[in-house]
Amino acid sequence: MAMVDADWSITRSSGDIRYIGDDHGGGSPSYATVIQLRRWLGAFSDDAASSGDDQYDITDDAASDRSTDNIITLLGNYNIDDTAAEHLFDGSIIQGTGGTEEYYDGVVNFGNADVQIQVHQNGAVLSDDWWNFSSAGLNPDAAQGISHRFMIKTRTAGSDIDGRRLIGTSRTFGNGYSEFKINGTARGNNVFALKDSADLNNATIVGTVAGWTGIALTTQGYVGLDVNNDSSNEFYYSEWNTNQPTRSINDFYERMKWLQRDGSAETLWGLNGELFRGITHEIVVDTPTGTFNAFEDVSWTGGTGQMLAINSTTAATTMWIQLLTGIAPTDGLTITGGISSATVDVNVTVTDREPRLTFPFIGASTGTSIVGGYGTGIEVNDVTAADKLFDLTDTQIVPPNNVTFDVLGVVSGEDRILVTTDAAGAIDTNHYILNGGLVGAAVTAVTVSGAIDSDTPSSGTIRIERDSGAYTLHPYSAFSGSDFTITSHDFSTDNAATTNNVYNSYIDKLAGGTTESFTYVYNADRTLFIRVRDGGITPIKPFETTAVMGSTGGSATVIRTSDE
């Protein structure tokens, strides 16, 4: 490879060294190393006179200097522009003096030949990814495992661009995602190690995933969720509705990748999806003033970020951010909300969470479960014991085994359904016994003897035996120990004496669809009694059966035998 003379020009008066050949992807573009540029200039430097568009000869001052084959300095007023830089590689070009200095630093990526790379610089994704102009990388060296070689401007007008920091990402939908940081480029070549391959859990075509609805970000910012069902919330910076059962957990994973893909037009926590990375720093704070938004842009002396969560908008002690520019704040610096103008001061401790970043941000999919990214929360009813989440303390949280029982084949508006615990093919009416009579006009608490089963749904209905012998239906909103909290009910007539029966009615309603379901936390296999009756216009013979609710749930299908 050598400089293609016809593709370059030199202008004596301005010192402009320009690429004038075909652009990327059109015609026959040419590329040269920085040392080849130096050699090309040298070939003119001993000419007696210049000719054509190469205005450089022995009468002109030296145009360049060489530190190494990978570090070339242009002298005097000699310079390249951004277009010329796009056609040079394998090193750095340094030019300008006295506050006009510019650096173009080399980037080399070690990865597979067809990996597509995006570059984050100064809090943005560079809009022109000319180094990806074809399905293969620019200026590869397959023998060395190099997919791309190109240059990025890292200093302009005498100032470094964001400390010469670069982040490389590969987010081609359908492939695995990866990320690599350069914390400050050096002269010569700087290394990315970005690669991708087919993601077997991301096989749905992008247009299909784009059309999925229902998967939604329920809460952005600090949110408490009791994912492991221990009666104590853990805290996350998101709560996602995965739209189950319409969408599978792997559908949810694919949708999260779609949000973050190359070219995304979606917004996550106020950032473009392609720029979004997740929490990079956890910051202990004090001295709050004003009221922060749930999430917003923030700044401090020496840096900017996007706040993704704060544990109190008015009395914060901890903040979580994605660093965008500069360096993370240090002890004593004031952090200011860009929208709210609220402030907090850094209180000593700033924890680097970048090692916990996952690609995509939601974590990994096994195909049937999620291994979550740091701090990402999912609605409690949308996760199972096979899923693993990590809260904002970076503690692994394993959900209980939420199992669902379905009664299939019912007719909406006609079938009355009753599902209870089984007792030899009948309702287990004395599953619980009252411990204290119910006699008041506004009873809200029902106490039974012994502990309520741990696999009882968190809310639902119970039946209570009245002194008349009737079993009346009562919704409950919670239970704890031996107590159900029921909707206020008048027991001043037809009391319920102590030792009367109580039982769970897991489903106890007129069908509202073709399937009725309930969910609880699996503890052990339980045999259920199912009764379905329809005595309406098209009556059926009463249907009764039993079925087992196991570790993966259960179901029963109604047999509809006409009773006309």
Q: What is the DSSP string of 62-75?
A: P-EEEEETTEEEE-
Tell me, yes or no, whether 68 lies in a domain: yes
CA atoms within 13 A on the CB side of 477: 6
For CA atoms 242, 245, 247, 248, the dihedral sign is: positive
Q: What is the pLDDT of residue 537?
A: 86
Give the containing element (helix H, strand E) for 222: strand 216-225
One domain, residues 222 and 259: yes
- Give domain status of residue 312, yes or no: yes
Establish if 437 belongs to a structural domain.
yes
Q: Measured between alpha carbons, how far is 8 from 478 in angstroms, rounded to an integer?
A: 77
Global pTM? 0.84
At 36 the three-state DSSP class reads helix
**Whether 171 and 88 share a structural domain:** yes
Q: What does the pLDDT profile of the chain (564 residues) look like in tens digits?
A: 679 999 999 999 999 999 999 999 889 999 999 999 999 999 999 999 999 999 999 999 999 999 999 999 999 999 999 999 999 999 999 999 999 999 999 999 999 999 999 999 999 999 999 999 988 899 999 999 999 999 999 999 999 999 999 999 999 999 999 999 999 999 999 999 999 999 999 999 999 999 999 999 999 999 999 999 888 999 999 999 999 889 999 999 999 999 999 999 999 999 999 999 999 999 999 999 999 999 999 999 999 999 999 999 999 999 999 999 999 999 999 999 999 999 999 999 999 999 999 999 999 999 999 999 999 999 998 998 999 999 999 999 999 988 899 999 999 999 999 999 999 999 999 999 999 999 999 999 999 999 999 999 989 999 999 999 999 999 999 999 999 999 999 999 999 999 999 999 999 999 999 999 999 999 999 999 999 999 988 899 999 999 999 999 999 999 999 998
Which pLDDT score, from 0 to 100, does residue 1 have? 61
Are residues 352 and 362 both part of a single domain?
no
Last residue of a domain, one of 300, 327, 356: 356
Distance CA 224, CA 397 (A): 13
How many Cα atoms sit within 13 Å of 215 on the Cβ side?
A: 20
Say whether both 227 and 172 belong to one domain: no
Is the same domain home to 384 and 494? no
Q: Cα(203)–Cα(195) distance, rounded to whole angstroms?
A: 18
d(CA 499, CA 478): 22
Report yes or no on 547 lying in a domain: yes
Is residue 201 a part of any domain in this protein?
A: no
pLDDT at 430: 96
Lookup: tokens for 548: 């087992």
Structure-token match 């990079």, residue found: 280
Distance CA 305, CA 329 (A): 10
Task: Kindly state whether residues 72 and 118 are assigned to the same domain.
Answer: yes
Q: Which domain holds residue 515?
A: 403-557
Strand 370-374 and strand 388-390: the pairing is parallel
The span from the CA of 182 to the CA of 161, in Å, is 13
Give Cα separations from 113 to 24, 146, 149, 318 (angstroms).
18, 7, 12, 43
Identify whether 562 is part of a domain: no
Q: Are residues 214 and 318 in the same domain?
A: no
The residue out of 341, 376, 400 marking a domain boundary is 400
Burial of 527 by CB count in 10 Å (0-12 exposed, 13-18 middle, 19+ buried)? middle
**Total number of domains in the chain:** 4
Which residue matches tokens 């597509």?
116
Q: Which residues pair with 325 in a beta bridge?
A: 304
Q: Is residue 211 domain-shared with residue 348, that is, in the same domain? A: no
Q: Do residues 136 and 244 both lie within one domain?
A: no
Q: Is 198 contained in some domain?
A: no
Same domain, 234 and 310: no
- Residue ending a domain, among 400, 431, 457, is 400
With vertex at residue 168, the alpha carbon angle to CA 166 and CA 173, rounded to the nearest 5 degrees, is: 155
Which residue, chain included where needed, has tokens 């394998």?
Answer: 90
Question: Rounded CA gap, 26 and 81, in Å?
Answer: 20
pLDDT value for 142? 95
Any domain includes 454: yes
Do 516 and 433 lie in a common domain? yes
- Are 382 and 525 within one domain? no
